[in-house]
Amino acid sequence: MSGRVYGPSIQAGAIHGNIHISTPGAHRLPPRQLPPDPRHFTNRSRLLARLDGLLGSGTRAFALLSGPAGVGKTSLAVHWLHRCSDQFPDGQLYVDLRGHEAGDPVAPSVVLPWFLRALGVEPERVPAELPEQAALFRTVTADRRIAVLCDNAVSAAQIRPLAPAGPAGACVVTSRWRLASLLLDGADVLHVEPLDTASAVELLGKVAGRDRVADDAAAQRLVHSCGHFPLAICVGAALLTTRPDWNVASAADGLAALRSGRPDEEVSMTASLDQSYALLPGHAARLYRRLGLHPTPGFGTGAAQAVAATPPTVNDVPRCLAALVEANLLTTPAAGRYAFHDLIQQHARTRAELDETPSACRETVARVADDYLSRANEADRLLHPKRRRPPAAYACPPPAPVAFDTATAALSWLDTERHNLLAIQRMAAEQGMHQANWQLAEALWALFVMMRYHHDWIDSYRLGVAGAIACGHQLGQARLRSGLGVAYREAGRHEDALREFALAGDIRRKIGDRRGEGLVLRNIALTYRFAGDLGRAQQVLREALAIHAEIGDTHAEAREYAALGEAESLAGKHEAAIDHLTRARAALLAAGDAYHAALAQRFLGEAHWRRGDLPAARAHLESALMEHDALGGDVFESGTLHERLGELAEEEGDATSARTSFVRAGVVYGRLGADSAAHRVARRHEGLDPHPAPGGGPHPSAPGGGPPPNLSETG
Give buried/exposed letters for 602-613 (b at 16+ CB in 10 A, else e). bbbbbbbbbbeb
User: Percent of the chain having pLDDT more than 90?
Assistant: 60
Lowest mean pLDDT across 319-328, 536-545, 556-565? 319-328
DSSP state of 191: E
The enclosing H or E element of 110 equals: helix 108-118
pLDDT of residue 11: 24
pLDDT at 478 over 80: yes
Comparing 545 with 453, the larger pLDDT belongs to 545
* Span 333-389, pLDDT tens digits: 888 899 998 888 989 999 999 999 999 999 999 999 999 999 999 999 988 888 888
**Which pTM was predicted?**
0.77
Q: How confident is the model at residue 543 (pLDDT cuts 50, 70, 90)?
A: very high
The mean pLDDT value of the chain amounts to 86
Grouping H, G, I as helix, E, B as strand and the rest as coil, residue 195 is coil
- DSSP lists the bridge partners of residue 94 as 149
User: Can you tell me the distance from the alpha carbon of 85 to that of 96, in angstroms, rounded to the nearest whole number?
Assistant: 19
Lowest mean pLDDT across 15-24, 391-400, 501-510? 15-24
* Span 685-708, pLDDT tens digits: 777 654 444 555 665 444 345 555
Lowest mean pLDDT across 81-85, 270-274, 459-463, 676-680? 676-680
* Span 104-134, pLDDT tens digits: 788 999 899 989 988 988 777 788 889 999 9
CB-CB neighbours of 707 under 10 Å: 19
Grouping H, G, I as helix, E, B as strand and the rest as coil, residue 119 is coil
* Span 139-196, pLDDT tens digits: 999 999 999 999 999 999 999 999 999 999 999 999 988 888 899 899 999 999 999 9
List CB contacts of 90: < 8 A, sequence separation 6 or more.
Answer: 30, 144, 145, 146
pLDDT at 94 over 80: yes
User: Can you tell me the distance from the alpha carbon of 645 to that of 660, in angstroms, rounded to the nearest whole number?
Assistant: 9
| Alpha-carbon distance values, 705 to 530, 609, 647, 655 (Å) | 10, 13, 11, 21
User: Can you tell me the distance from the alpha carbon of 526 to that of 713, in angstroms, rounded to the nearest whole number?
Assistant: 11
pLDDT at 671 over 70: no
pLDDT at 404 over 60: yes
List the strands of the sheet with 331-334, edge to edge.
Answer: 298-300, 337-339, 331-334
Mean pLDDT of 249-256: 78
Mean pLDDT of 29-48: 92
Q: How confident is the model at residue 8 (pLDDT cuts 50, 70, 90)?
A: very low
Continuous H helices in 226-357: 230-242, 248-259, 265-278, 282-291, 301-308, 316-326, 342-355
DSSP per-residue codes, 321-333: HHHHHHTTSSEEE
The enclosing H or E element of 548 equals: helix 534-551
pLDDT of residue 102: 61
pLDDT of residue 1: 33
**Cα pseudo-dihedral 483, 485, 487, 490, rounded to 10:** -130
pLDDT of residue 313: 55
List CB contacts of 73: < 8 A, sequence separation 6 or more.
Answer: 65, 66, 67, 174, 175, 192
**Best CA proximity match to 159, nearest among 118, 70, 75, 99:** 99
Mean pLDDT of 602-622: 95
User: Can you tell me the distance from the alpha carbon of 664 to that of 9, in angstroms, rounded to the nearest whole number?
Assistant: 12
Mean pLDDT of 3-20: 26
Mean pLDDT of 459-472: 97
CB 351, CB 277: distance < 8 Å: yes
Grouping H, G, I as helix, E, B as strand and the rest as coil, residue 313 is coil
Task: Tell me how many degrees the CA angle 144-147-149 measures, rounded to the nearest 5.
Answer: 150
pLDDT at 25 over 50: no
| Alpha-carbon distance values, 613 to 434, 604, 609, 706 (Å) | 54, 11, 5, 20
pLDDT at 616 over 90: yes
Q: How confident is the model at residue 406 (pLDDT cuts 50, 70, 90)?
A: confident
CB 404, CB 379: distance < 8 Å: yes
pLDDT at 209 over 70: yes
| Alpha-carbon distance values, 505 to 45, 61, 370, 467 (Å) | 65, 53, 30, 19
pLDDT of residue 2: 32
List CB contacts of 486: < 8 A, sequence separation 6 or more.
Answer: 449, 497, 523, 709, 712, 714
Q: Is the dihedral of CA 597, 598, 599, 602 positive or negative?
A: positive
Q: Which of 60-74, 75-89, 397-411, 619-633 has the highest mean pLDDT?
A: 75-89
Residue 39: φ, ψ to 5° = -65, -40
* Span 298-320, pLDDT tens digits: 999 999 999 988 655 566 899 99
CB 299, CB 338: distance < 8 Å: yes
